[in-house]
Amino acid sequence: MRRSAGAGDLLGAYRPGTSSMHAAPLGLKAGVLVVLSVAVLALRSPVLLALAAVLVLTAYAAAGLLRESWVPLRLMWPVLVLLGVFQWWASGVEAAVMVTGNIAVCVTAARLLTLTTAPQELLDGLVSLARPLRPLGADPERFGLTLALMLRSIPFLLGSARDVRESAMARGLERNPRALTVPVVIRAVAYARQTGDALAARGIGERSETKVAKGNR
């Protein structure tokens, strides 16, 4: 099954490069992202929000990906508009700007992390965070496999939904819930079965079941 073009852009597919942003350690980029997000969300300062926006745009420019900085806004604008209107009605203009601005800056900054970090490096970093939990019964390798499957599955499902919607529109069925949902469900089930068969062929499921059986003895 194919994945529609552009589906990866919804999540920020990795863009190879040689910039300082690409070369920066994952820990440094993730740390800056966390500090930036916490600061703009907790302090709720218009000045800080403006500085954070400038910093994020500068980082995109340094990575040679300035055009990519507007993609999240293009994808999220309906949600941001609705949220902004509600906040304006409930709390005023400043609240509307702060809430929508904070979300836009945080999402755009997070997307830069995925754009400049190879998927395997990102997964390895997340797995390393789970290793200290091994004494508590956590399985970092299984955690990494789950994340890898999720990162692979979500773009496929989004692309599948887009394909089905475009097909329904071409047939004049864009308002038919059955025409929009049934094909997506069928494709999702087929994809899940293919993934399960591939894991079973590699003996991953068998090893997991063996561990569980031994633990229950």
Using CA atoms, how far apart are residues 187 and 160, in angstroms rounded to an integer? 7
What's the pLDDT score for residue 172? 83
What's the pLDDT score for residue 125? 82
Asked whether residue 36 carries a pLDDT value surpassing 60, the answer given is yes
For residue range 82-92, what is the model confidence (pLDDT) as tens digits?
A: 889 999 999 99
* Location of structure tokens 């299984």: 142
Run of H or E residues at 112:
helix 93-115
CB under 8 Å to 138, separation ≥6 — which residues?
130
Asked whether residue 99 carries a pLDDT value surpassing 60, the answer given is yes
For residue range 115-161, what is the model confidence (pLDDT) as tens digits?
A: 898 878 887 887 787 787 778 777 777 767 776 676 667 667 767 77
The single-letter DSSP state of residue 27 is H
Using CA atoms, how far apart are residues 55 and 69, in angstroms rounded to an integer? 12
Run of H or E residues at 9:
none
User: Domain spans of the chain?
Assistant: 17-117, 131-216
The whole-model pTM stands at 0.65
Q: Tell me which of 4 and 174 has the higher pLDDT.
A: 174
Average pLDDT over residues 153-173: 78
CA distances for 168 relative to 20, 74, 154, 162, 202, angstroms:
44, 23, 21, 10, 37
Residue 108: phi, psi to the nearest 5?
A: -65, -40
Please provide the average confidence, as pLDDT, over all residues in the chain: 80
Asked whether residue 5 carries a pLDDT value surpassing 60, the answer given is no
For residue range 199-216, what is the model confidence (pLDDT) as tens digits?
A: 677 666 554 444 544 444
